Chains A and B, each alone.
Chain A
Amino acid sequence: MNLPLREQAGVVIAAASGRIDHASADAFNLALEPLIKTCVGGSKPLVLDFSGVDYISSVGLRALMMASRQAKGQKGVFAIAGMQPLVQEVFTISRFNLIMPCYLSVAAACQVLGS
C-alpha cells in the first residue's frame, strides 16, 4: 500500500486510500511504520488523510491505535483527517473518535497542528 506524502503548513500529510481490512492491514502497517518512526517530539506533525479511505475494519483501527500509541510515546503528533461519512460512522461506533485525534478535513488539521 502506498501512502503518498505531501506537506502543508508544516504538517506531513500521508494519503491513505481504499479499504483497510484483514486483506490490506499488513500492507497498511508496513507503509505506516517508517512514517511513525519519524513522528517524534520536535518533528513535523503527521496527519493521515483519510478522504480516500472507503472502509476501515477492526484490524485497521487497531493498527491506527498502535501507531498513535507509538507516536505518543515518542512525543510526536499524529492525527487522522478528512474521513468519509461512513468511515466517520465506523469511528463513532467503535468509539475510536474518543481515543484518536480526528479532524474533519486536512485543512482543519493543518490549522490546528500546523506552523
Chain B
Amino acid sequence: MKKVIFWGTRGSLPVAQSAEDVRQKIIAALKAAEGKSYRNAAALNSFVDQLPFATRGTFGGNSACVEIVGSGPEHLICDMGSGARPLGQAKIATYGAPNPQTYHIFISHLHWDHLMGFPFFAPMYIPGNRIIIHGCHPRIEEAFRLQMSAPCFPVDYSQAGAKIEFDIMTPGKTQYIAGLNVTPKLQLHAGDSYGYRFDSIERSVVYSTDSEHKLDSQDEHEAFVKFFSKADLVIFDAMYSLAEAVSVKADWGHSSNMVGVELCQAAQAKRLALFHHEPMHDDKQLSRLLSETRRLEEITRANFGPLEVISAYDGLIVDL
C-alpha cells in the first residue's frame, strides 16, 4: 500500500459551503493580509499556506469515499458516498474510457450516505470495466439495484456498462484481494456495519466508520484494539463528542474523537484520521476538534508511544 486518498469525509449527508461561509473566509484572509506585500507568486502562495486551514481551505462536504492505493493495477475503494463522483472523474481523466480497469469496492453498510455516489461513479457506465462490490450484508446487491430504480433515480441499474459482481465476505475471515489481506469486522450500527482492515507485507490500514462503541464491554474494547493493532492508519468515525455519543446520541451508531484516541493508543497504531464529520460542523469547529484531539493525545501519551492525529478532508492524500 502506498497511500490513502480521501474523496469524501462527511457523515450522514453531503454538505456544501454557503455564500456566507466563503465570505467569512475571505474576510479572515484579508485581515491576515493587511499591510503585507508579496514580491512574487511564490511569496503569495507561501502566505496563503500559513493561514489556518479553516481560512485557506475546507474539510469539504462529500460523504464517505476513501481510496487505498495499492501496488498493483487494481483499484481499492471504501464506500460509495458522494465522494465517488470526483473519484470516478479522476479515474476517467487518468485512464480514459477505452482502458478497462478493475475496481474493488468495500461497503461498510447499506445506508444511503455510503451508497449514493455509485450512480455518479463514471467507470460503472463504461463497458470493459469490472467492478467487484465486497461487503458482508446479504442484501447488498438489492440495495445497489434499489437506489438505481424508478422512482429513486432516472438511470436504471441495468444501464451499467461495467461488469458488476458482488462478493459477500464473512466477518473475521481474511480474504486476499488485489494484493492485500482484507479482514472485515462487525461493528455496532443500525442494520450492522463492517470495518475493514487492509494488510500488506509492510503496511496496515483500518477503515472503521459508522461504528458505535458502547464502552460497557471489555471484550468489545479488546476486539477493536486487536482490529486496530499497530495499524499505520486508522480511519475512525469521530462524528460526535463523547458526551453526545453516550447521552443524547446514544444508539445513533457513531463514535467520538476520545474513543478513537484511546483505541489507537491501546492498539499502538501510528496515525488516527478523524472521519465521518458531523454535517452541522463548519470548518472552524472541525479545526477546533482536531486541535483538541491532538491535545488529548498529548496529555494521555505517557503510557503509550506518540500517535499522530489528523482530520480527514476531501482531497487529503496520506502517504503510508
- Chain A: residues with CB nearer than 8 A to chain B? 22, 55, 57-59, 61-62, 65, 69, 86, 89-90, 92-96, 98-99
Contacts and interface: CB of A to CB of B under 8 A. Distances in A.
B295 A89 contact: yes
Nearest to B241: A95
Contacts of B216: 62
A90 B243 contact: no
B159 interface: no
A interface majority secondary structure: helix
Q: Which 10 residue pairs across A and B have the least CB separation, nearest first?
A: A95-B241, A95-B243, A94-B242, A93-B292, A62-B215, A99-B243, A62-B246, A96-B243, A93-B296, A59-B215
A86 B296 CA distance: 9
A55 B298 CA distance: 13
A93 B293 contact: yes
Contacts of B292: 92-93
Contacts of B221: 22
Contacts of B300: 55
Contacts of B295: 89, 93
Contacts of B241: 94-95
B278 to A, nearest CB: 12
Contacts of B243: 61, 65, 94-96, 98-99
Given A94-B242, A94-B256, A96-B242, 7 more contacts: A58-B215, A58-B256, A61-B243, A62-B215, A89-B295, A93-B295, A99-B243
B296 A65 contact: no
Contacts of B283: none
B298 to A, nearest CB: 10
B158 to A, nearest CB: 47
B21 interface: no
B299 A89 contact: yes
